[in-house]
Amino acid sequence: MKITTDTPDLLIVEDRPILLGLGLIVFIMIFVGVGIGLMLAGEGWGIVFALLGGGLGLLAFWAFVRRVQVVFHRPDDWVEFRRKNLFGGARVRHKLSDIGRAEIETSHGSEGGVTYRVVLVFDRGKSVGRHPVTLAYSSGSSHHLVEAKINDWLGKTR
């Protein structure tokens, strides 16, 4: 997650899980390749191997690899969540002035690991509640930098 644009009127936060996407593509190619190799060697169950492994990889790709942009537009008083995955995308717009602050949510794994995500807290308006920037939690320090930048940028409007 990173800030791609930062001007007084426009702030864009973006998350592109490139490494996860590449890893899943390699996973899919290995299973499909081994399955085809088994079929060519006369093993009929190679088709099951290819379809099951490739299908699970494709399902994971659809579920976890999604480009996210959050665009804060000060002149027209809106913030827009843009999410796009392999099969399409969605845009949701809210009033910028309804945002109170950005916060970090944490998730503690069963093995003691901690992951994070940034959420926007809407204090008023039709969108009252917590709206995550990314749907998935992840590790790294970028979340704290993005949260601080959003709060700093929002503070300049008040």
Pairwise CA distance, residues 49 & 34, whole Å: 8
Q: How confident is the model at residue 158 (pLDDT cuts 50, 70, 90)?
A: very low
Joined together, the tokens standing for residue 70 give 């959050």
What does the domain layout of the chain look like in residue ranges?
2-15+67-155, 21-63
DSSP string, 26-55: HHHHHHHHHHHHHHHTT-TTHHHHHHHHHH
User: Are 69 and 98 in contact, with CB atoms under 8 Å apart?
Assistant: no
Joined together, the tokens standing for residue 35 give 């399955």
pTM of structure = 0.78
Q: How would you label 136-158 residue by residue, b for 16+ Cβ within 10 Å and e otherwise?
A: ebeeeebbeebbebbeebbeeee
pLDDT in tens, 96-143: 999 999 999 999 888 878 999 999 999 999 999 999 998 888 888 889
Joined together, the tokens standing for residue 7 give 């001007």
Pairwise CA distance, residues 34 & 21, whole Å: 20
pLDDT at 26: 96
- Residues 54/88/147/130 CA torsion (nearest 10 deg): -100
pLDDT in tens, 55-90: 999 998 888 888 899 999 999 999 999 999 878 889
The CA-based angle 112-118-21, given to 5 degrees, is 75
DSSP state, 156? T
